[in-house]
Amino acid sequence: MGGKRERLCHCAHLAGQPPLLTAGWGGRRERARRSHAMPTGRRRSLQGNDGTPKVKISLTQTTIGKVSAPKVAAFSSRGPSYIYPGVIKPDIAAPGVTVLAAAQKAFMDAGILYHFDSGTSMSCHHVSGIIAVLKSLHPQWSPAALKSAIMTTAALTYDNNGMPIQANGKVSKITNPFDYGAGFVNPNMAADPGLIYDIEPSDYFKFFNCMGGLGSGDNCTTVKGSLADLNLPSIAIPNPRTFQATMRTVTNVGQANAVYKAFLQPPTGVEMTVNPSVLVFSKEKKVLSFKVTFKAMRRPIQGDYIFGSLTWHDGGSHWVQISIAVRIVIEDIYSKIS
């Protein structure tokens, strides 16, 4: 940024303007604002400024009606994951455009304590803060349980106008789980998720080291299953030519005696079943497992990912939803090049 900052300072000096500059860039439908620290004290003495700069703030355009929000920014990380196609990417969506944040040291040295910034790093700060609050409410929960809580309760996929959330980019489009993951984060709902998909640290080693061919020895010789069986709060099936099944386990963290029923939204062209379709929890039974199966309803056709969801509902306030992505392929070669 050094060269750009110097050019901005030079232009401001020539124009004789007060020491305030903002620069914007980004997609056609969004603009990210950043501050640029400049040696304004010295410039004031050279320009004869009286030390009382004036700022005029005005709208750059007229907006009629509600501005659609939230939207997925053009710079946001998208799926699918080519390294681990059995995992939906990203996990969650959170605020990340033009966020007022504490300034970095370089800005603070110039007297700027806060400035607007944009990026996935801004979204990360929001989610990190939410995780910290959840950890204080549930200190016994594992990192996987905390992640599950924010994902299974983030069912918001419509904007404030009741329309599907849009994804900005070269061409705007309706979003899907490869844009927002589980949805837009909802911290209030995450505090009481009802059910969680927990994962032991050894499970990560088993699937990412052994299944990926990175591990060896006794720890890997007894490993069975696939990455699809990792107990994530999402399901991605990259190539179910005919039939594929995956297991998931949920832990009840709500009312001890609870009954959850499954509500399915199968991906188009895929037959999807859950067994059992009803989970009955009690003080003695807090952890239950179920199997999700996928089967092509007709002769497989090479195509892009299609999406669905699985939701567990207790008849009350708990809707525990996970996103599902399925891509049916004809042959391995198509899967590798598409």
How do residues 261-309 score in pLDDT, each as one tens digit? 999 999 988 899 999 999 999 999 999 999 999 987 765 556 789 999 9
Q: What per-residue confidence (pLDDT) applies to 292?
A: 96
In angstroms, the CA 63 to CA 129 distance is 32
Cis status of the peptide bond prior to 80, with omega within 30 of 0: yes
Q: Which residues, at least 6 apart from 49, have a Cβ–Cβ distance to it below 8 Å? A: 18, 43
In angstroms, the CA 303 to CA 325 distance is 12
Weakest-pLDDT range from 92-106, 173-187, 195-209, 252-266: 195-209
| Structural domain contains residue 241 | yes
Residue whose entry in the numeric block shows the structure tokens 């990190």:
128
The count of structural domains within the chain is 1
Partners of 102 in the β-ladder = 114
| Structural domain contains residue 262 | yes
- Bigger pLDDT: 203 vs 12: 203
Residue 188 per-residue DSSP state: H
Q: What per-residue confidence (pLDDT) applies to 280?
A: 98
What angle, 0 to 180 degrees and rounded to 10, lies between the N-to-C axes of helices 120-137 and 143-152?
110
| Structural domain contains residue 333 | yes
At 31, list the tokens: 């603009």
pLDDT band of 102, cuts 50, 70, 90 = confident
pLDDT band of 90, cuts 50, 70, 90 = very high
* CATH code assigned at 280: 2.60.40.2310
177 membership: H or E segment, kind and range: helix 177-180
| Structural domain contains residue 286 | yes
Span 23-49, mean pLDDT?
Answer: 44
| Structural domain contains residue 278 | yes
φ, ψ of residue 167 to 5 degrees: the values are -110, 120
| Structural domain contains residue 141 | no
- Bigger pLDDT: 327 vs 145: 145
Residue 227 per-residue DSSP state: G
Closest CA to 168 of 28, 44, 61, 46: 28
Residue 226: strand, helix, or coil: coil
Please state whether beta strands 258-265 and 306-313 pair in parallel, antiparallel, or not at all (unpaired): antiparallel
Domain of 279, in residue numbers? 232-338
| Structural domain contains residue 268 | yes
Q: What per-residue confidence (pLDDT) applies to 14?
A: 47
Digit-coded pLDDT (tens) for 152-183:
999 677 888 888 888 888 778 899 999 999 99
Q: What per-residue confidence (pLDDT) applies to 193?
A: 98
| Structural domain contains residue 247 | yes
Span 39-55, mean pLDDT?
Answer: 53
Residue 253 has pLDDT above 90, yes or no: yes
The rounded mean pLDDT for the chain is 79
Residue 196 has pLDDT above 70, yes or no: yes
Q: What per-residue confidence (pLDDT) applies to 154?
A: 93
Share of the chain above pLDDT 70, in %: 70
